[in-house]
Chain A
Amino acid sequence: MILYDAHHLPECYAVRLFAALVGAPLTLVPVDVYPGHEHRSDDFLARNPLGTLPVLVDGDTVWTDWQEMLAALALRHDAAWFPAHDPALIGWLGMARDLAASLGLARLIDTFGAPGDAAAARAHADVLLDEIERRRWFGERAGKVWVMPQAHPTIADVAVFVFIALCEDAGLSLRDRPALRRWIDRVRFAPGFIAMSGVFPPMANVTR
């Protein structure tokens, strides 16, 4: 499969990370979004009229929604990551989109000069992070280590991780959100984990 990719976008990282976690080989094609605006070129818009990244291509099949890509990769490689029977999955994937529109937006405004109201985006993100912290804290007390109740991690963990792990880029902190920090470490220590700029990999020089 070919992934049209921009390294700095959390949505692209989500697909790269999840492919690594389930062992799906990807051929990466970097698209110069910033500063090249290559995603606004005729060639790219012919592939994805929305002009968004990532884009995943497998033969004649083209995916333009990053969450749909996670589901498609899970169905192909390890369906335990995609508990489609549980309505909570809809809620968590929606939460990830809300994080994209708040935390993700604040990060793009601060670091890439995107237009928008960074303070308003941060305020919304703060509310979401507080709520996810609350859910995680009570989840831990109930013995749940991932965002969904399943014992196995899910695409929901990946979908919210890629935003929360980059929150300092958006001027937000996890200092007073200890359950989120523990969950971040759990994701980082998952077999196959890969990092991106701004996310620390688990240390490689010593076997855990």
Chain B
Amino acid sequence: MTNLATGVWYAIAADHDLVDGHVYRTVLGGHELAVWRAQSGTVQVWDDRCPHRGVRFSLGEVVGDDLRCQYHAWRFGPTGACTFIPAQPQMKVPGTIRARTWPVAQSGGLVWTGIDPAGPVPDLPPGTVARAIPIARPAAEVAAALVALEGLAPVVQPLDAGTTMVRAIATDGDVPRADRVLVALRRRLESAV
């Protein structure tokens, strides 16, 4: 968890990753995250951990405006507050039962979060969001290699100390080409150890 700067916005998903009913799973600087879109349209980024028994939220489902945990079907609304406990249907749920929520911004077809992110989200040029490619190399090394790529506006998401997700805007809209370029970069970096 050492490679995550505070005050920085990181892109951790694409808008198209968040489909109805589904909980997207990722990790940012060692923090496991569950990302989902409520029926109302708001996007949520939470710790991927139910406060009840610690099961990954990303094993669950989205039902309306709630995320429902796979383990005991507890439901949590967009503020992170638990809204319903099936085993105690008559009980008013204590306000202290909450999922840990992260800041969220949406921009350039991407979903952004971070630890106390400050200022506006980085402005990316127009284009099409390419497929995110994980590379088993540290973020600084990946970022250095990305500088040379034409037609791509990349951002990096440190997954953990040794793994990095590359997200990019294909500024010419040629997503298959962007994919080949990023996968080739992955091959090159991962074989040059």
Contact = CB atoms under 8 A, between A and B. Distances in A.
Contacts of B179: 134, 138
A181 B19 contact: no
B100 to A, nearest CB: 19
Interface in A168-193: 174-176, 178, 181-182, 185, 189
A200 interface: yes
B85 interface: no
B21 interface: yes
Contact of A203 (B26, B61, B131, B175): B61
Nearest to B56: A175
B70 A176 contact: no
B175 A182 contact: no
Contacts of A140: 16
Nearest to B61: A203
B27 A175 contact: yes
Contact of A134 (B19, B26, B59, B131): B131
A83 interface: no
B19 A205 contact: no
Given A140-B16, A141-B175, A203 B68 contact: yes
Interface string B17-36: 10101101111000000000
B86 A205 contact: yes
Nearest to A133: B131
A81 B171 CA distance: 39
Interface secondary structure of B, over-half rule: mixed
Interface string B58-94: 0101010000101001000000000000100000000
A46 interface: no
Contacts of B176: 138
Interface in A81-135: 134
Interface residues of B, number: 26
Interface string B141-176: 000000000000000000100000100000000011
Interface in A139-156: 140-141
A202 interface: yes
A134 B180 CA distance: 11
Interface string B21-53: 110111100000000000000000000000000
A165 B176 CA distance: 27
A94 B16 CA distance: 30
Nearest to B19: A182
Contact of A208 (B13, B21, B70): B21
A46 B21 CA distance: 48
Interface of B: 13, 16-17, 19, 21-22, 24-27, 59, 61, 63, 68, 70, 73, 86, 131-132, 134, 159, 165, 175-176, 179, 183
The 3 A-B residue pairs with the shortest CB-CB distance in the complex, in nearest-first order: A176-B134, A137-B131, A185-B22
Interface of A: 134, 137-138, 140-141, 174-176, 178, 181-182, 185, 189, 200, 202-203, 205-206, 208
Given A137-B131, A141-B175, A176-B132, 8 more contacts: A134-B131, A134-B183, A175-B27, A176-B134, A178-B13, A178-B24, A178-B26, A189-B21
